[in-house]
């Protein structure tokens, strides 16, 4: 149980284009979803937290107009990297958890984004 | 944000127990201690979590110091599939926030 699916698993695109990444909880309802970014040989950095039906809360230093997050249903959140540039190339990982107090986050397998 | 300190790397032989330490001296009374592990090119996998008492599950055991300023993840018999980066994390939660702040983790190597 507690499976989180991310799509696509990898994407390569030209500089200036926008890229959308989907995160789905397959067998549970995700009240809260999280988006992380991970550069090579570094740890995960939390970008934002989104609750279903609400605006996302972004961490300090993360541009909300650059990284658009939508969490319109209890099973789907999307991250759109707008006008992507080479410095946005990274491994983007989502996680999801139910509304129950003491439950862990369950992570997707990540999306490797390469901007040329 | 709450911070944890872990050794950069550890080694083990297959089928031996592994004790992964973590220091969290600034932990507050409501912070849960979470452990996740990450294999290359994959998202993290939940391992175990606890607050004050020691915890056991099918994957591992978590031993928490009485003062809660440190904890140890115990893999009872390491296998090659246990080779990963192990993250000890304090879950920060309050009325308007609930998040995990990842540290640098411990890279565990397991030798046959």
CB B19 within 8 A of CB B35: no
Q: Which of A107, A108, A109, A114 to mutate to test the interface with B (most CBs of B within 10 A)?
A: A107
- Binned at pLDDT 50, 70 and 90, residue A101 comes out as confident
Identify which of A43, A106, A110 has the shortest CB distance to residue B42: A110
Residue B50, Cβ neighbours under 10 Å: how many? 18
Give A40-106 as a DSSP string. TTS--EEEEEEETTS--EEPTT--TTTEEEEEEETTEEEEEE-S--GGG-EEEEEEEE-SSTTPPPE
Q: pLDDT: is A94 or B1 the higher one?
A: A94
Share of chain B above pLDDT 90, in %: 77
- Binned at pLDDT 50, 70 and 90, residue B28 comes out as confident
Flag whether pLDDT at B1 surpasses 70. no
Give the residue from B39, B37, B52 showing the smallest Cα distance to B102: B37
Residue in B with minimal Cα distance to A99: B98
Cβ pairs bridging A and B (under 8 Å): 49
Q: Does B100 sit within 8 Å of A45, measured CB to CB?
A: no
Q: Tell me if chain B has a CB within 8 Å of the CB of A58.
A: no
CB A3 within 8 A of CB A26: yes
Q: Cα-flanking dihedrals φ and ψ of residue A87, to 5°?
A: -70, -10
* Torsion sign over Cα A4, A7, A11, A14: negative
CB A63 within 8 A of CB A80: no
pLDDT tens-digit series, residues A13-72: 999 999 999 999 999 998 899 999 999 989 999 999 998 888 899 999 999 999 999 988
pLDDT tens-digit series, residues B53-100: 999 999 999 999 999 999 999 999 999 999 999 999 998 777 667 888
pLDDT tens-digit series, residues A16-29: 999 999 999 999 99
Q: Which of B37, B43, B88, B97 to mutate to test the interface with A (most CBs of A within 10 A)?
A: B43
Q: Does A6 sit within 8 Å of B42, measured CB to CB?
A: no
Q: Cis ω on the peptide bond leading into residue A84 (within 30° of 0)?
A: no
Averaged pLDDT for residues B42-60: 94
- The nearest CA of chain A is from the CA of B16 a distance in Å of 27
Q: Measured between beta carbons, which residues in chain B are less than 8 angstroms from residue A91? A: 41
Give B54-70 as a DSSP string. -EE-SS-EEEE-TTSSE
CB A44 within 8 A of CB A38: yes
- Binned at pLDDT 50, 70 and 90, residue B2 comes out as low
CA gap A41, B104 in Å, rounded: 9
Averaged pLDDT for residues A89-111: 91
Q: Does A49 sit within 8 Å of B41, measured CB to CB?
A: no
């Amino acid at each position: 149980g507690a499976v989180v699916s991310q799509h696509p698993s990898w994407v390569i695109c030209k500089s200036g284009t926008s890229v959308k990444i989907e995160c789905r909880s397959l067998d549970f309802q995700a009240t809260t979803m999280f988006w992380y970014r991970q550069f090579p040989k570094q740890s995960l950095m939390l970008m934002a937290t989104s609750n279903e039906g609400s605006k996302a809360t972004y961490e300090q230093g993360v541009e909300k107009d650059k990284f658009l997050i939508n969490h319109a249903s209890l099973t789907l959140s999307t991250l759109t990297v707008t006008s992507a540039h080479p410095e946005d190339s990274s491994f983007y990982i989502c996680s999801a958890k139910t509304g129950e107090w003491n439950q862990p986050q369950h992570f997707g397998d990540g999306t490797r984004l390469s901007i040329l | 944000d709450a911070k944890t300190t872990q050794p950069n790397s550890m080694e083990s032989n297959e089928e031996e127990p592994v004790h992964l330490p973590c220091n969290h001296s600034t932990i507050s009374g409501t912070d849960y201690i979470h452990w996740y592990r990450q294999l290359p090119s994959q998202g993290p996998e939940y391992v175990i979590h606890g607050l004050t008492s020691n915890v056991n599950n099918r994957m591992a055991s978590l031993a928490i110091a009485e003062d809660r300023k440190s904890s140890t993840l115990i893999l009872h018999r390491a296998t090659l599939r246990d080779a990963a980066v192990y993250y000890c994390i304090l879950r920060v939660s309050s009325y308007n926030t609930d998040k995990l702040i990842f540290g640098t983790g411990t890279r565990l190597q397991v030798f046959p």
